Structures are given as C-alpha cells and as structure tokens.
Structure 1
C-alpha cells in the first residue's frame, strides 16, 4: 500500500515498532477529539505499553517526516495532530480492520489490468503495492484479481493515489480450466497468510484466556493489551483478500484469529477507552 501507515512492522508483539503503536493510538483515540494528542499524554500512554520517552520522540519525528503527524497545540501543551492524508488512510482502514468482509460463492471477481511505461517505473511499484494492500492476487504480469466486493474500495483508493489512469477494472467470472481452488492457491500466498494467522492466534489466545479469568478490571492493562493486539491485527485484513469460504483451505486459521481478535476487541475496548480519557490532554488549542 503506497500510502500505508506503519503496519509493516507489526509482527508478533515483541517485534512491534513504537511508531506502529503510536499510529494505533492515534487511530483509536485522537480522531474522536479533533485528531490531536499532547506529547506528554502520548509519552504517558506509551509508557503503559513499556515504551520509553526517547523511543516515542524518535518515532514521532519519523511520522512527522512522512507527513502523517503535524505539530499542534493541545490544551495549551505541545502536541501533534493527524494530517489529512493520515486521517484518510485511517478512515479507509476501519472497514477492513473492524469488519469481516468475506465474498460469497458465485459473487464473481474483479480484475485489475494495468500497463505502466518504463519511464514511470515508480508508478508501477506504487500500483503493485497498492493492489497488494487492497487484497489483490497476481494472475499474470499486469493482471491482478480480487473478490468483487473490493470494487468500491479499489476505485476510491486508486483514484486518490493518482493511479487510476494506468488501470482498467473488470468484473469477471471464472469458467475454465483448472479447479478454482487450485487457481486461487496460485494467485495468493495462502500458506504464508495462514502462518501469520497462526502466529496471531498463538500470541493472543493466552491473552484472551487471561482476560476470561480476570475478575477485577484493570484499565491500564486493558489499554496496553488492546493497543498491542490491534497493532498486530491491523495489517492482516489488508493481506487477506476475503475469499469465499469454499475456496479456502480446510480449518482456515484466519477464522480462528478473527474470533480471538473480535472477542478481545469487545472485552478490552471500553476499559482501554476509559483509561485514555483519564490519562490524556486531547482538546486541541490554537497553534502558537
């Protein structure tokens, strides 16, 4: 995804980079209050997750250089707000992250056929990256495929990225010759995706079990666990094309991973939100 926020860092929790955690915090909470958080509030929240102040400030600098965060006074204190581009990317991601889009049998396919001049190779790279993060698989050079339910998202994403002039989109039906599940397995790396889902389940099933045993609420721990699980989860729906269940391998681990995530989301989100409300300065002030 050519304009993606930092999700590429989000592997198992031990490998999550601070800037990816910061993006999650902004996506969850800053948009509710105008898009800004004070630096002091962000440092306090990140400390709850186990990230020190120097790492927070370094990560903010990187996000600022990428044009994702902009300096802004927050309640009279120094802070940063989401740029318009960052807001658009986060808004675009909400459907993928918090819903379970899945094609039905017989829905059909969306084909993206593109040709980019050699003189614009950077556009070719951007286009392939964008299609990949929209869930497209590769049929052949210049021919990519996705379930038809991504059509509107693909139209909007390609147009907003300035890539629509290079692409033609077609609705299609598969008719021959190899069995469709066999073809699907050649268009997407389903084995690799399933391994990612397995990593997620192994990491967070124990977290879910712990919260099911917990009797007393602990808002700080709920916040830390929720930010971690969402940061790990939020790249997976982009890599998953949302294929019909009949075209997936048996006992698809993506379904188990989704169950773990959405159960934790339901359990942790309210307590985490309460912790943030008690811990942050969020009302934007006028920039000095």
Structure 2
C-alpha cells in the first residue's frame, strides 16, 4: 500500500504486476508474497485489475484515492494545536444491536487522534474537527455522533487531564523508536556525499514511510504547553522530513525507471 500511496498516483494511478514484483524485490519480498498482497488489497476494494498496453496491472480505486489524499494531509504536514483554539468533543451512542459499529467508531476516533474522556465521550484539539467530520461521513458513522467545540474550564490542570485522555508515554516511546531506527539511515545518506543509489533510496524511503505513517494519526497534535518535557515527537518529525528531502527524488527516479 505504501508503494501505491507514494508512486502510483504520480504515474496515472496504475502499476504493472511485473513492476510491483520488481519494486518489492528491492524490499526483500518475493513474488508469491507480492501476489498474495495484491489479492488482499483487491478484495478490500483498494486495487482494481486493469490492463494497459496489453500488460496486466492494478489501479487504485476511487475510494482508495480519496483515503490516500486525506492521508497525505496528515502524514506530510506538521500539525500542532494552540491552547486558544480549544477542543472538539465527539459524543456518541450506538445501539447494542449494532455493537460492531460501536467498535468501528471507537477505532476511527482513536485513529484520528482522539483521546477517551469517558464512555461515549472522546476529545481532540479543535484543528481535527473537519477531518473528523469528513471521516465520520465517509465511513457512514455520522448518525451516531454529535460533535461539539469548546474550551476546557477545569478543574484539574489541563496537562494532567491530557495525560489521562492519551497515552503520551506510549506515543513518545514510538517516536523514540522511530528515531533509533532511522537516525543511522540519515547518517548513512549524508555520508554518501550526493551519490544517488536509486534502488537503495527507494527501499529506505518505503521503510521510513511505512514506519512513520501511523504516528501522525496516533498523535493528536496537542499544543506544546500540554506535552511532556523532552517530547520525542519533534525530533522524530525533523528526522522524517530530513529523510524525505534526501530520499524522495532518487526514489521516484527508480520507480520511473522500473515502470
């Protein structure tokens, strides 16, 4: 999915099966595993079979394009709220007969970066309001939810409450692990002194993005005043964007050559 998200849209939304196999080989994935992954994505409605110039391949579905475009705004943009903008509350009630929808709703709110205040009440910085609205409508969950915007008026200190609503220690550990994994990669490329090994750049960039892309969703983008001291998220974001600047262009050249 990372490969389609990064590259297929740049070349018309379609990649041949042979190109996918070649690209995945750079990541150490063999042909049977590639075909199995394609089948899963096809069953989920992410990919659609399509022949171009007699070659078998797969294109992104319209639904997949919509999801990826929304993901771009989250993954490739730094987001950090302010205390003045306030909060968005999602208050929901799902009938017991539709408890699967309740689980889906909780999962989507968590994935958007909402924290849990209590049963049926979730909270996020107000800058996530429109994104939450779009996702809830797209996933046909809006009928179960009421959204409110407002200010926190007390009584506990806001940083104390934030630490209850989100697992910031766990998120900080994930950011720290990202840094541990990819700081050596950036150091290696900086030492390369401009040499562009496009296949290696492609493999590194896909691994970087695969590891990074879930973190901006788990991170609600809280105001700096609400974050723990020595927050690893800032360092991790600096690292990701430095790797993007170094690897994006040679990686794209490799995909263009293979295609």
Question: Which is further off, 61-70 or 93-102?
Answer: 61-70
User: How is 1:70-81 mapped onto 2 (pairs within 5 angstroms)?
Assistant: 70-81=48-59
Matches for 1:25-36 after TM superposition, within 5 Å: 25-36=3-14
TM-score (norm 2): 0.98
The answer to whether residue 192 in structure 2 is matched with residue 199 in structure 1 is no
Q: Which runs of 4+ in 1 moved over 4 A?
A: none
The residue aligned with 1:86 is 64
**More divergent stretch after superposition (143-152 vs 30-39):** 30-39
Q: What is the number of residues matched between the two proteins?
A: 258
Matched, 1:65 2:40: no
Q: CA deviation at 1:75?
A: 3.3
Mark the CA change 1:29 to 1:75 in structure 2 (over 3 Å): closer, same or farther. farther
Partner in structure 1 of residue 252 of structure 2: 273
Aligned residue among 240, 248, 264 for 2:227: 248
Match of 2:75 in 1: 97
- Equivalent in the alignment of 1:236: 215
Q: Residue 139 of structure 2 aligns with which residue? A: 161
Tell me how far apart the structure 2 counterparts of residues 129 and 38 of structure 1 sit (CA, whole Å). 33
> Could you tell me how far apart the structure 1 residues matched to 2:178 and 2:232 are?
9
Match of 2:130 among 152, 173, 177: 152
Equivalents in 2 of 1:181, 1:76: separation in Å?
59
Q: d(CA) in 1 for partners of 2:6 and 2:223?
A: 29
Q: Which runs of 5+ in 1 are unaligned?
A: 1-22, 281-288
Shift of 1:91: 0.9
SS of residue in 1 equivalent to 2:85: coil
Q: Distance in 2 between matches of 1:32 and 1:210?
A: 28
Which of residues 99, 120, 140 is equivalent to 1:121? 99
Aligned-pair Cα RMSD in Å: 0.8
TM-score, normalization: structure 1?
0.88
Is contact 1:37–1:74 with CA below 8 Å preserved after alignment? no
- Is residue 260 from structure 1 mapped to residue 239 from structure 2 by the alignment? yes
> Which structure is higher in RCO with an 8 Å CA cutoff and minimum separation 6?
1
